[in-house]
């Protein structure tokens, strides 16, 4: 792969100024194109290079979200065979997910994505609630969402569905395509300019691989097959996860993106449910939970038919999930803080100079 310039792999003025302090220290910027169990594949200027974390970066990381992820821009010290990653530049966007298990540990599955294509099928698989969930995740990430309605060729009431989605997406662009027949793909071009990073989000079977193949103009991915088993750290795919598309954009395609779980704060929920947020400002209580409080404008809108009951139920469900997650995060943060103080107290006791104070 030949890379003409940093710009062609997503570098911009924002990253340039973030990198300024590292200039003149023998460091170079590089972008992470793949990560597997602590081993990184990096793109630096015009070449690929293997990379590993500087010990300090690893030790100072408070969570896995502080470690480099695919799409990240990092500062590296070049070496003969291995570049050493010494820092991560601030992310313009990040998709996070829970690390497997109950623990509220977060992991970045994609960094510095400009646009995320939220894919849903126009066939029987269509699910408005799922789309709301993806919109929430997108707004939380900092990436700009675009709704891609796939399988236009199978749609029976395509126009009605498109109108329904446009109402739901509230200003988010909606593009209908047939990835299989390669129809409507021109509608995606505004977000596929050179150096722009895009990612795909959507449930299994919606046609993500088919769209990737259509965009690549080749059969890169086996469609419809099980491709990886992330839970056991086993990957049958060996491809780069940040892939240059023929038009110059970069496609970020990690296994984690495929199974993104809701993670984030309630700000994303407000964006995705702007209609409920607007109604809520007329509720009698400022912290109204729209669960039976008196003079609730949201419930009144449901009763009057202005707001879909299913949409409010979906909002309640997402709200509950976010609250549960926040509680676990708080508990975990408190435990980590206590452990840290215990450690500091212990090291003070064992420090040779500590005795002088007694
Ligand atoms: P993924 O799991 O999201 O990657 O979905 P795939 O790309 O593997 O597609 C799942 C199935 O849907 C495959 O059998 C595809 O051929 C089919 N498919 C994908 N896009 C379209 C489309 O636009 N129209 C139709 N009719 N089928 C499609
Ligand atoms: Zn209310």
What pLDDT score was predicted for residue 215? 93
Closest ligand by atom to 297 CA:
2
Token digits of residue 132: 């709301």
Structural domains present in the chain: 7-88 (2.40.50.140), 94-253 (3.40.50.300), 273-325 (1.10.40.50)
Q: 122 CB less than 6 Å from ligand 1? A: no
Give the number of the ligand closest to the Cα of residue 150.
Answer: 1
CA of 168 to the centre of ligand 1 (A): 24
pLDDT of residue 161: 87
Residues, the chain: 358
Give pLDDT, residue 269: 74
Tell me, using a 6 A CB cutoff, whether residue 222 lines ligand 1: no
213 Cα nearest atom in ligand 1: 7
3-state SS record for 149-204: EECHHHCCCHHHHHHHHHHHHCCCCEEECECCCCECHHHHHHHCCCCCEEEEECCC
Is any atom of ligand 1 closer than 6 Å to the C-beta of 185? no
**Residues 298, 282: Cα–Cα separation, whole Å:** 8
Q: Return d(Cα 29, Cα 7) in angstroms, integer.
A: 12
Contact 297, 283 (CB under 8 A): yes
197 lines ligand 1 (CB under 6 A): no
CA–CA separation, 300 and 311 (whole Å): 14
Say if ligand 1 is within 6 A of residue 180 CB: yes
78-95: burial string, b at 16+ Cβ within 10 Å, e else: beeebbbbbbbbebbbbb
Nearest CA to ligand 1 atom 26: 151
Residue nearest to atom 11 of ligand 1 (CA): 205
pLDDT for the residue numbered 338: 63
Q: Is 245 in the pocket of ligand 1 (CB under 6 A)?
A: no
Q: For atom 20 of ligand 1, which residue has the closest CA?
A: 207
pLDDT at 346: 58
- Token output for 358: 């007694």
pTM beyond 0.95: the answer is no
Q: Which residue has the least CA distance to atom 17 on ligand 1?
A: 207
Quick check: CB of 293 below 6 Å from ligand 1? no
At 143 the three-state DSSP class reads: coil
Closest atom of ligand 1 relative to the 150 alpha carbon: 23
Ligand 1 pocket member 121 (CB < 6 A): no
Q: Is the CB of 206 under 6 A from ligand 1?
A: yes
C-alpha of residue 108 to centroid of ligand 1, in Å? 27
The residue whose CA has the least distance to atom 9 of ligand 1 is 207
pLDDT tens, N- to C-terminus, the chain (358 residues):
344 588 889 999 999 999 998 888 889 999 999 988 889 999 987 788 999 999 999 898 888 889 999 999 999 999 888 999 999 999 999 988 766 555 556 788 899 999 999 998 888 666 777 788 788 888 888 999 999 999 999 988 888 888 988 988 888 999 999 999 999 999 999 999 999 999 998 877 788 889 999 998 865 554 433 334 443 333 344 467 898 899 999 999 887 776 564 444 556 677 778 899 999 999 999 889 999 999 999 999 999 999 999 999 988 987 887 777 666 656 665 666 566 556 555 555 554 443 233 2
Residue-level pLDDT at 330: 60
Q: Can you tell me which atom of ligand 1 is nearest the CA of 225?
A: 8
């Amino acid at each position: 792969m030949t890379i003409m310039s940093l710009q062609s792999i997503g570098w911009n003025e924002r990253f340039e100024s973030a990198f300024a302090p590292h200039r003149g220290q023998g460091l170079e910027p590089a972008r992470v194109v793949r990560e597997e169990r602590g081993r990184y594949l990096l793109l630096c200027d015009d070449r690929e290079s293997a990379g590993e974390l500087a010990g300090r970066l690893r030790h100072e990381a408070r969570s896995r979200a502080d470690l480099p992820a695919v799409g990240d821009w990092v500062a590296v010290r070049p070496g003969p065979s291995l570049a050493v990653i010494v820092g991560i530049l601030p992310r313009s966007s990040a998709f996070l997910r829970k690390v497997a298990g109950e623990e509220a540990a977060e992991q970045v599955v994609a960094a510095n994505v400009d646009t995320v294509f939220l894919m849903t099928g126009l066939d029987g698989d269509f699910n408005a609630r799922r789309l709301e969930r993806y919109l929430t995740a997108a707004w939380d990430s900092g990436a700009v969402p675009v709704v891609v309605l796939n399988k236009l060729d199978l749609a029976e009431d395509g126009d009605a569905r498109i109108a329904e989605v446009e109402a739901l997406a509230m200003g988010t662009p909606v593009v209908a395509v047939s990835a299989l027949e390669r129809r409507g793909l021109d509608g995606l071009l505004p977000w596929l300019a050179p150096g722009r990073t895009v990612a795909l989000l959507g449930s299994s079977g919606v046609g993500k691989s088919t769209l990737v193949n259509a965009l690549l103009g080749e059969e890169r991915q086996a469609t419809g097959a099980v491709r990886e088993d992330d839970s056991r750290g086993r990957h049958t795919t060996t491809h780069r996860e940040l892939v240059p598309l023929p038009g110059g954009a970069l496609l970020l395609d990690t296994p984690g993106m495929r199974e993104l779980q809701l993670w984030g704060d309630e700000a994303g929920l407000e964006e995705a449910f702007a209609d409920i947020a607007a109604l809520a400002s007329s509720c009698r209580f400022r912290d109204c939970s729209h669960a039976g409080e008196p003079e609730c404008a949201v419930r009144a809108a449901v009763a009057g038919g202005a707001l879909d009951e299913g949409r409010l139920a979906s909002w309640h469900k997402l709200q509950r999930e976010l609250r549960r997650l926040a509680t676990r995060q708080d508990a975990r943060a408190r435990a980590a803080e206590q452990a840290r103080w215990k450690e500091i107290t212990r090291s003070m006791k064992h420090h040779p100079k500590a005795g002088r104070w007694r």
